Amino acid sequence: MTALLFASAIGVFTACGVWLLLRARTFDVVLGITLFSYAVNLFIFAMGRLTFGAAAILEQGKPASLAHYADPLPQALVLTAIVISFAMSALVLTLALKGRIVNHGDACDEETGSVLDNSHR
Amino acid sequence: MMPMPDQWLIMPVVLPLLAAALLLCIERVRPNWQAPVSLVVTIALLLLSMRLLALADTGRIGVYLLGNWQAPFGIVLVLDRLAALMLGLTAVIALASLVAAWRMAGRGEHFHAFFQLQLAGLNGAFLTGDVFNLFVFFEVLLIASYALMLHGAGGRALRTGLHFVVINLVGASLFLIAASLLYGVTGTLNFADLAAKLAILPAWNAGLARAAALLLLVVFGVKAALLPLGFWLPETYGSAPGPVAALFAIMTKVGIYAIIRVSFTVFGGMGDGSEGLLAGWGSSILFALGLSTIVLGACGVLATKRLIALVAHLVLISSGTLIAATTLGAAALGGALYYLVHSTLTIAALFLIAHAIADQRGPRSDRFGNGPSLAQPVFLGLAFLIGAMGVAGLPPLSGFIGKVLMLQGSGQAPMATWFWAGVLGSGLLALFSLARAGGSMFWKTHGAAVGLPVPAGTRTGLAVLGVAVLLWVVGAGSVARFTRTTAEQLGQPQAYIDAVLRQVPQPPFARSSP
C-alpha cells in the first residue's frame, strides 16, 4: 500500500511537472522544474528500497546487512540532488527575473515573446 | 619520496577550482591580475594534460582513489587513453578561447572565475569513474557555461539562454533517474563495478538496466545535440560571444565522450554479444539518429542566412558524424576520435573567425549580402578559407585524413554505404554553403571599411588553434596510431575494470619518531 502511494506520488509530481514545463511562460516552467525535481528526489530515495523503522546507522547487536537497515547511499544522493536542484532553481529564477525586466514579459518562446514585445511598443 | 604518477590525476580538477576561488578573491583588489592568472593556470593545465597524455600512452590505466577509499566504495578518477585525449583537447581549446577573450572579459563580472570553473567541470567529467560524480561535474560545467553564455548579454540572448538552461535541467533530472535506476538494479555507481555487475545481471533485471542505459543516452544526446534533442544548439551557440562559442565547441564533445564511455566501458560486457548495449537494435537506432543529425545539420547549413548560425549548424554535422561512426566498429571509432579533435579545433577557429568578420561589418553583422568592406579582407579571407577547407574535409588538412580514417574503418559494417553517403554529402553541402558565404562576405562589398582590425587576442587564439591543427596533420601517422589503440582499449573493458577494482589504497605515511 505504501509502495503504491509512493509510486503514485512520484507519478503525479512528474505529470504535473512535465505539463507545466511545456507551457510558454517562465513562471510555469520554473514551477514545472521544481515539481519534476521533487519527483526525481523521491525516485532516488525509492531506489534504496522503502524500509520501515530502520535507520541508516549501524547499531550494536544487529547484524550488519541491508535487511535490518535503510540504505544510506540513496539518502546521500538525494541530499546532493536537492542542493543542486535548489541552486539551479535559483539560477533559473534569476534568469527569468532578468528576462522579465529586459524583455517586458515572462514569455519564453519566440511567438508569445514577439506578441508581448509588440504590445509593449 | 617520489610522488606516485597517479597523484597527478586530481590536478586537472583541483587546479582550475583553486584558480576560480583565487580569481574571485582578487577580482576587487587587483582586477588587472585576473587575466594573467587565468592564463598561467590554463598554460599549466596544458602542460599537465600533455604529461597525462604521455602517462596514458604507456597503456597503463591510472586510478586515483579520492580520500584513499577502496574502489567501489569511494569515488575514483580514472585516466585511460580516451580521457587523456579529451583532457588535452580541452586544454588547447581553453587556451585559444582565453586569449581570444582577453578584451571581452571586462564586459561583465567574474568572467575568468566562471571560465576556470567550466574547465574544472570539463576535466572532471572526462576523468571521473563514477556515474553520480559524472552528474555532479556536468552540473558544474553547465552552471559555468550558463554564466559564460549570458556574459554581458541582452534581451534575445536571455531568452535563448533560458531555453538552454531549462533543457539541460530536464536532462539533469533524467540523468538522476537513470543513475538511481542503475543503483537500484546493481547496488553500485562506479563505472568499473557497474560493468562487472551488469555482465552477470540476472535476466529479470536486464530490462531495467537497459531502460537506464537508454535514459542515459537521452541525457547525453541532449548534450551532444543528437537529432530530436538538438534544436537548442544553433540559437544558443549563435547568440554566445565569440570566444565562448569557441569554448562551447568542446561541450557537444562531452556528450559524445559520455556516450562512448557508457556504451563501451560500462555496458560493453552486457547482453549476449561482446559489443554490449550497442549491439543489435541499440546500435541501429543510434546510427540512424546520428545520420539524421547530419541531414538536419546539412539542411541548416544550406538554409541559414547568417555566418555564425552556419558554423553552429556545422557543429550538428560534426556531432552526427561522430555518433554514427561510434556504432561502426573499432576501426571507425579510432578514425572518429581523430576526427573529433580535428572538428573541435576547426569549429572553434571558425567561430572566432565568424565573430571577427561580423565585428568588421558594422550594423550588417554576420548576415549574408551586400555590406561594407572588411578592414582586413586578406587576413580574414585566408583564415576563413583555411577553416572552411578544414571543416569540409579537403585534402591537405586533417579533416580529410579524419574522414578517410572513418570511411576506411567503416568498410565492413553493413550500414557503411549510408555512412559514406552522409559524410561525403554533408561535406559537399558544407563546402558549397561556406563558399557561398565567403563570396558574399568578401566580394559583395561596397564603400569604405568601417570596422577596426582584429584584436591581437583573437589573432593569438587563431594561431594556437592553427598550430594544433598543423600538428594534427603533420603527426597524423602517430596520432592515428594513438586513436586506434584508444579504440582498442575501449573495446576491452576488462582491463579498465581490473585496474579500478584492484587499485590498493595508499598505506598511511610512516611517522618518523623524533
Cell digits of residue B341: 579533435
Q: State whether A92 and B169 contact (CB < 8 Å).
A: yes
Give the strand pairing for B445-446 and B371-372.
Answer: parallel
Phi, psi for B62 (deg, rounded to 5): -85, 140
Tell me, what's the ipTM?
0.89
Question: Can you tell me the distance from the alpha carbon of A100 to that of A98, in angstroms, rounded to the nearest whole number?
Answer: 5
Of B449, B434, B435, B445, the closest CA to residue B376 belongs to: B449
The position carrying cell 587499485 is: B503
Picking from A48, A88, A102, the nearest residue to B169 by CB comes out as A88
The DSSP call for residue A48 is T
Q: Tell me, what amino acid is at B375?
A: A
**What residues are paired with B306 via a beta bridge?**
B367
Of B318, B338, B314, B319, the closest CA to residue B472 belongs to: B338
Task: Give contacts of B180 with chain A, Cβ < 8 Å.
Answer: 43-44, 47, 74, 77
Secondary structure percentages of chain A, helix, strand, coil, to 5: 70, 0, 30
Query: In chain A, which among 34-63 make CB contacts under 8 A with chain B?
Result: 36-37, 40, 43-44, 46-49
Question: Can you tell me the distance from the alpha carbon of B380 to that of B397, in angstroms, rounded to the nearest whole number?
Answer: 18
Task: Give contacts of B163 with chain A, Cβ < 8 Å.
Answer: 108
Cell digits of residue A50: 522503502
Question: Can you tell me the distance from the alpha carbon of A56 to that of A66, in angstroms, rounded to the nearest whole number?
Answer: 9
Question: Can you tell me the distance from the alpha carbon of B226 to that of B292, in angstroms, rounded to the nearest whole number?
Answer: 9
Cell digits of residue B154: 541582452
Task: Give contacts of B172 with chain A, Cβ < 8 Å.
Answer: 84-85, 88
Of B173, B247, B253, B164, the closest CA to residue B216 belongs to: B173
Q: State whether B158 and A47 contact (CB < 8 Å).
A: no
Cell digits of residue B247: 569554448
Question: Can you tell me the distance from the alpha carbon of B310 to that of B432, in angstroms, rounded to the nearest whole number?
Answer: 12
| Interface residue A98 vs chain B (CB under 8 A) | yes
| Interface residue B184 vs chain A (CB under 8 A) | yes
Nearest Cα residue in chain B from A83:
B136
Question: Can you tell me the distance from the alpha carbon of B419 to that of B321, in angstroms, rounded to the nearest whole number?
Answer: 8
Based on its alpha-carbon atoms, the radius of gyration of chain A, rounded to whole angstroms, reads 20
* pLDDT tens, residue order, chain B (514 aa): 345 567 888 999 999 999 999 999 988 888 888 888 999 999 999 999 999 999 888 888 888 988 888 888 889 999 999 999 999 999 999 999 999 988 776 666 788 899 999 999 999 999 999 999 999 999 999 889 888 887 766 666 777 788 888 899 999 999 999 999 999 998 889 999 988 888 888 877 888 888 888 899 899 999 998 888 888 888 888 888 888 899 999 999 999 999 999 888 888 755 444 445 545 567 788 889 999 999 999 999 999 888 999 999 999 999 999 999 988 888 888 999 999 999 999 999 999 999 888 888 877 778 887 777 788 888 888 999 999 998 888 888 888 999 999 888 887 777 888 899 999 999 999 999 999 988 888 888 777 777 778 888 888 999 999 999 999 999 888 999 999 999 888 888 888 888 888 888 877 765 554 4
Angle (CA) B490 B491 B496, round 5°: 55
Model's pTM, two decimal places? 0.91
* Residues in Cβ contact with B231 at an 8 Å cutoff, skipping those fewer than 6 apart: none
